[in-house]
Amino acid sequence: MDNLWAAWRSDFILSDKEDICIFCEEGRRLKKQQRLILYEGETSFVIINLYPYNPGHLMVVPYRHLHDVEKLTDEENREMNDLIIESIRILKRRFKPHGFNIGMNLGATGGAGIEYHLHWHVVPRYTGDINFLAAIGKTKLQSIGLDIIYEELKPEYDQYAGRTKRAKSR
């Protein structure tokens, strides 16, 4: 069996973890200027992944701190689903990916880096995005900086907020 290493993720895995949830209000206040939140709805929000697998890797997160997906309310499920679909639309317009991975890792064994606050991943995929650099050179190429991704996507989510009644006024 061959192994594919993602050593670039070691910064996140080996870093000291705060004793607070980064998705909860207390955690989001820590680095307000760098929190990368694109949209805040009534029950959930959209944030850029600080350690992305690909440019435009977003997460849709409920405000409520819970880790059991079956405990989401119908309202949370609806808004999160709407935000996943809207995120796909926005990413298609701004970055033109060739496909997407949409998913949720439940529990540490299921691959969750933040296991006690569930969140959906919306990962744009591009033809050839898993290329020789990652597979052979053990180097992950991030072709677009997080600041540029934020600047590209934030106006789109602001427009979405204007079209929906769910957006929080923050």
State the average pLDDT for the chain: 81
Tens digits of residue pLDDT in 5-41: 556 566 656 666 566 777 877 666 655 446 789 999 9
Tokens representing residue 152 in the block: 């590209």
pTM, two decimals, is 0.75
Tens digits of residue pLDDT in 117-158: 899 999 999 887 765 445 445 555 566 788 888 999 999 999
User: Which residue among the candidates 65, 98, 117, 119 is catalytic per the annotation?
Assistant: 119
Tokens representing residue 18 in the block: 């705060």
Concerning whether 57 is annotated as a catalytic residue, the answer is no
Q: Which residue has the higher pLDDT, 51 or 43?
A: 43
The pLDDT value recorded for residue 128 is 75
The pLDDT value recorded for residue 35 is 72
Q: What 3-state class would DSSP assign to 74?
A: helix
Alpha helices in 16-145 (DSSP H): 25-30, 74-95, 132-135
The pLDDT value recorded for residue 115 is 81
The pLDDT value recorded for residue 170 is 46
> What average pLDDT does this structure show over 64-87?
96
Q: In this structure, are residues 38 and 24 in contact, taking their beta carbons and an 8 Å threshold? A: no
Which domains are assigned to the chain? 18-163 (3.30.428.10)
Listed in order, strand segments (DSSP E) in 18-126 are 37-40, 44-48, 58-62, 99-103, 120-125
Q: Which of 66, 72, 48 is nearest to 123 (CA)?
A: 48
